[in-house]
Each structure stands twice: as C-alpha cells, then as structure tokens.
Structure 1
Amino acid sequence: MNTKLPAHSDTPRQGVHFIDIEPEQAGQRIDNFLITKLKGVPKSRIYRILRKGEVRVNKGRCKPEYRLKAGDQVRIPPIRMEEKPTAPAPPQFQIDRLEAAILFEDKGLLILNKPCGLAVHGGSGLSFGLIELLRASRPTAPYLELVHRLDRETSGLLLVAKKRSYLRALHEQLRGDSIRKHYRALVCGQWDLGTHHERAPLYKNTLSSGERIVRVDERGKSAHTLFKPISRFKAASYMEVELFTGRTHQIRVHAAHIGHPVAGDEKYGKQVCNRDLKQYGLKRLFLHAYRLEFTHPGSNQPMDIIAPLDNELGAVLDALEAGQA
C-alpha cells in the first residue's frame, strides 16, 4: 500500500511505478539508470533502496552492478523528490544559431559545426552549453549525448548520438582508432619541421580554481599528433593536424612544446605572436576541427564529413597571403 504524505507537505512524492527497458536502454547498470531517472534524489538514497530490495527487476532483487537487458521490467518504489527551481530557457537566438550549424542528422546521429566560444556543456559561469541548447530545441528527444568533445575556443565538427547504441558504437571506434580526426591550425612562426609526428606524453592538472592545465611530462598519458604544413607566411604557418589520441588540449600543448604554439592561444601560446597576428584580423584561437572520417553505426557506410573554415578564419589567411606581397 502506498502511504500518502501529510496534507501540509509540499515535497513531491512519486508512487510505485514500473519501467519497461527498451533496447536503447540496455547495457546500463541499474544504479546509473536510477541516478538518471530519479533526478533530485541523493545517490545515498538510491543505493539504500537498492540494498533494501525496494527496487526490483522482473520482480526480483538486484545488485547495483546489475546490467539491464531489453525487456526487463524495473519497479521503482515511492520516493520523495527534491523540488528544483525551473531552469531558465536559453535565448532563442542561441538555439537558432546552433540549428544553423547542423551539417547532418538522421534518426541516430547528429553532426554539427560547433561555433567558437560555445562550450559543449554549461558551467563555469555559462548558463548554457551546446548539449543544453540541443535538448532545449528538441524537448521530446529521448536521447542526446556527446560522442566526443571540443574545447570552448575550438570550432568545428562534433558528433552527438541520438541513440545509446550509436554512442556505444562510436566510442568503440574511438577506442579502436577507427575515427580519423583532422584539424586546421595556424601556428606561430615559419614551420621548418616538414611532416612531424609528435608523441610527447601529456600530464593533466586541475588547479584549485578548476582551470585545467596540461603539460608535457613523463608521468603523463601517451599522446600522438601529426603535423603537416599546408602553407607558410612571414608570421605564421597554416597546418593540417591529425589526432591519433584524444588528450585534453593535445594539439595546443604539442604545438607549444615544439616551439610553434597555435595562434591566438592565450593559455599555451606566445603573447608577442598573438599580438602581431591581430593586425591580420585574428581575434580568437585558430584551431578548427575540419574533417571526420568514421563508419556510420546504423548503415555501416563510410562517412567523410568536412566543415570548411568560417569567414573569420578565412579572412585571416587572406590577410596573411596578401602580406606576403
């Protein structure tokens, strides 16, 4: 029997309900599934109802590490939910800007050309990130998750899964090096290293302020970046860069390590170079995720997607080319 709350209580309490697990939900641990479903419920409370057997799968008790299967029926007991203030809606112009950046979309996958300055997640003083904007523009979408990430200052191609099975398949491709990620970058100075493979290990620190700093350090994780020159100017060099690993700030730290930091990089770059390149119109980090090659998880067909440089970065290259004369 479900117990009713006293009339004076203003804390919402949901009754017993049952959830049938769909194929897209299969494979999740039951504890992670409940944490997602029971927003506002402390994790300690979730693990307590699991230990006490109040959560049932197919009418039987289950452990937190149980992985759900398609067709399972999950019983969730009555549980108090904390009230949360209604989150403000993102401005429509931000949603429209993001919708205009979508290059490809089908039932399981979304590919967009992320604008510079847009974080993939809200936080650190930002009310809305890319994923929050997508969810606001698609309120009925059952699933939207980032496949990988780009720095806030980096523009370019980003994959978003609309199905859990697509996310799993694309993560497997990432782990198996089946996704090829190509970037375009402007680096300081005249590049004289030819085609260069950089493999310096990268070590990540998080400062007390929450800022992430990455440096070359033997204690770090392995990293592999390929640099290929496209054209050289008096003040900088235009490069194709391919990532073979996906470490935080990898291109930026490797480029700085070999003496050619990415132009416009305020964290790892050279102030003099950044200042000099402003006369060519550079006002941001010149790093763009230009091309992605992978296998579509649904059709198994090869995908080769290109996001050309935006007008702002293109104008910088034009100005550098004109300065050669």
Structure 2
Amino acid sequence: MSKAPQSSPLTVVYVQVSAVDAGQRLDNFLMRHLKGVPRTRIYRLLRKGEVRVNKGRAKPDYRVVTGDQVRIPPVSRDEPRRDDRPLAPGLADRLEQSVLLADDDLLVLNKPAGLPVHGGSGVAVGVIEALRKMGRGEPFLELAHRLDRETSGCLVLARNRRALLAFHELLRDGGIDKIYLALLVGQWQGEERRVNAGLARHMRRDGIRRVQVDEEEGRDADSLFIPLQRFDQATLMDVRIGTGRTHQIRVHAAHTGHPVAGDRHYGDFECNRRLKQLGLKRQFLHARALTFTLPCSGRTYTLEAPLEPALAQVLERLAPLD
C-alpha cells in the first residue's frame, strides 16, 4: 500500500508585494497565496493579528503597496473547506440571468439584493465564490469594487489583472460616473442638493461597526441627490457619488433627515414598518448605472441595471403627490 503524502513542515512565510500586485485588497492578496484555505480562515487570521504588514496589524480592506512585507503565518492547506457545500438551489441560474455584459476584460452583473459580494461574517458563499464554483472556466476573476449585501445593481468583476488595475485607477481618480436609485423617507424640499460631509467608521459598544459623519477625522465624501418623483411618504431620488465610501449614500441620506427607506441601521424605523406593509422588505438602494472608459483598452462602457420587480411594485403602491 502506498503512503499518503506527508505535508511539508509549516513555517512563517514573508512575501514582498510586487508592482503587479500593488493595489489589491489584503484579503484577496492572501487568497492568492493561501490556495485551498477557506476565506473564513483567512479572515480569522487577520482578526487575530497573525498576518502582519510591515510588522503591524492590517485590516482585510487594506490595499497592499509595492514593497510591503506581508507575514503569512503557518496555515494547513489540508484542512477541510467549509465552503465545499453545493450552491443554494437556483443561485447559479440567478447569477447567469443577471449578467449585463461580458467581454475580454469585464464581467458585469445586476447583483441580486440579499447576496453579499463575497463570503465572510457568517456567510460562506457570496457572488465571487458562487461564480468560481459554477465552473465558468474563468482563469482570473476578481471583484473590481463592492456593493452592500442589501444593495442591488451594477457590480463589476475583472477578468484579467490588467483590467482590475485599470478599474481601480478609475476608482481612485474619480473616473467613474456612478448613479444610484434611492427611495428616501419623507418629502424632499426643493431640488437637487449636494452633500459634502466626511465619513468615518467607528466601533459601537456592542461591537457593531457603524459609519457616521465626522468632519474632523472622516474621509472626504461627496453625494449629489436629485429628486425624480415625490410621494406622500417618500421621494424617489437619483444619487450621483463622486467617491465610494462605505455606506456613503445611506449615511449622507440620513444626515439630510431623509434616510433610505428600509435601512435597518441608519433609517426611520417607524416609516420602515409602514413601507413594509407596501411590500418593501429591504433597503431601497439600487446601483442603476455606471459610465466609464477603461484606460487599458480605451473602451467606453455605459451600463444600466433594471430595477427588480419587487421595488417597482413598491413605487406603484405609493401615493404620488400632484
């Protein structure tokens, strides 16, 4: 009988970030260097501080820089993967039907609400893991940006490293025209309004991370709210964002006194209960359009994601103002 191959001794590995890998999120960088290790395990290593960047702790969303030295602790690649379970029934079909565009550089989806873009925080499979499991034959597939779990709409994935870096360049330079459709609580007074208010993430006493307006320590954030249709309980808005901070639209909307309808964290809970009776079961925020020119190819993209029927029905049930 042949013996099972013995695993090589586990040792700490130090990896220096090259120019090719610069700009990647640390969690994605680790996924590439720890093939076969579940994403949940990688997040656990980061939380415990076992992964170090330049001898210091780093968060999963830290973007590595050329020359960074990343300490990768001993990790067994032979441990069973928690995400080797089959996809939820119908998920593969939902994702295939949500494809808005696929070319040599990008794959763009109309992301369904309720599905996270990646696994973690108690969810084993998100969009990126599901697509990889579906056997699409993608040699390279990475999230180019992110949407909140409860936000639907245009989600861009890169199909090669060149396109990923080019899209990140556009994000840094404000080269993407991003338009969201949002239903805000209450009757918006006046016409369009721009909100320039810095945002910072803070940890609450209960351990939940929240974003709030912080003009002194917050990062610059810019949102333009444009009313489209007024109802007795709410106002339908186009929201154009020049930056892409975490929960930006939700926090800026609440800052104006008109939170996003259905928002469980920053919203008007009494109004949410009333709107739930009209069929609103999640936050009404939809990434409806993206326009940009990808530097590496020179191609201009104009992408639009149709609103899901459940949200369209909520609008039909609201009473419009004359």
User: TM-score normalised to the size of structure 2?
Assistant: 0.77
Partners of 1:34 and 1:46 within 8 A in 2: no
Equivalent position amino acid for 2:245 in 1? R
User: Is the CA contact 2:34–2:77 (under 8 Å) kept in the aligned structure 1?
Assistant: no
Deviation at 1:11, TM superposition (A): 3.6
Q: Is the 8 A contact 1:189 1:235 kept in 2?
A: yes
Alignment of 1:208-227 (within 5 A): 211-218=208-215, 219-227=217-225
Match of 2:21 among 21, 28, 32: 28
Q: CA deviation at 1:301?
A: 2.3
Contact 2:261 2:272 in 1 (8 A): yes
In 1, are the aligned partners of 2:104 and 2:159 still within 8 Å (CA)?
A: yes
In 1, Cα distance between equivalents of 2:75 and 2:156: 36
Q: Give the stretch that moved more between structures: 140-149 or 110-119.
A: 140-149
Task: Tell me if 1:102 matches 2:99.
Answer: yes
Q: Secondary structure at the match of 1:96?
A: helix
Could you tell me how far 1:208 is from its partner in structure 2? 7.1
What is the CA-CA distance between 1:202 and the residue it aligns to?
0.6
From 259, 262, 267, the counterpart of 1:261: 259
Task: Pick the aligned partner of 1:114 from 111, 115, 119.
Answer: 111
| Shift of residue 207, structure 1, vs aligned partner | 4.6
Structure 2 unaligned residues grouped into runs of 5+: 10-17, 53-65
SS class of match (1:175): helix
Q: Give the secondary-structure state (helix, strand or coil) at the position aligned to 2:90.
A: helix
Corresponding residue of 2:307: 309
2:198 aligned residue:
201
Computed over aligned residues only, the root mean square deviation of the Cα atoms, in angstroms, reads 3.2
Change (3 A) 1:40 1:318: closer
**Equivalent position amino acid for 1:82 in 2:** R
Does 2:148 align with 1:151?
yes
Contact 2:166 2:296 in 1 (8 A): no
Q: What is the distance in 1 between the residues matched to 2:257 and 2:144?
A: 31
Structure 1 residue 85 and structure 2 residue 80: aligned? Answer: yes
Aligned partners of 2:125 and 2:93: how far apart in 1?
14
Relative distance call for 1:201 and 1:138 in structure 2 (3 A) is: same
Which residue is 2:188 aligned to? 191
CA contact (8 A) 2:116 2:127 kept: yes
Equivalent AA in structure 2 for residue 100 of structure 1: Q
Cα distance, 1:283 vs structure 2: 1.4
Separation (CA, whole Å) in 1 of partners of 2:4 and 2:187: 70
Question: Residues 205-224 of structure 1, C-alpha deviation per residue, up to 9 Å, x if partnerless?
Answer: 24576633001112111110
Q: CA deviation at 1:196?
A: 0.5
**Unaligned regions of 5+ residues in structure 1, if any?**
1-6, 15-24, 48-63, 68-78
Structure 1 residue 13 displacement after superposition: 4.4
Contact 2:250–2:266 under 8 Å retained in 1? yes
Q: Are the counterparts in 1 of residues 230 and 321 from structure 2 also a CA contact under 8 Å? A: no
- If you compute each CA radius of gyration, which structure gives the higher value, 1 or 2? 1
Contact kept in structure 2, 1:197 and 1:227, CA below 8 Å: yes
**Aligned equivalent of 2:290, options 289, 292, 313:** 292
* Whole-angstrom CA distance in 2 between matches of 1:166 and 1:123: 25
Report the number of matched residues: 280
2: distance between equivalents of 1:254 and 1:293? Answer: 22
Q: Which residue of 2 aligns with 1:248?
A: 246
**Structure 1 length as normaliser, TM-score?**
0.77
Distance 1:99 1:185 in 2: 25
- Report the CA distance between 1:174 and its aligned residue: 1.1
Q: 1:139 to 1:260 in 2, by over 3 A?
A: same
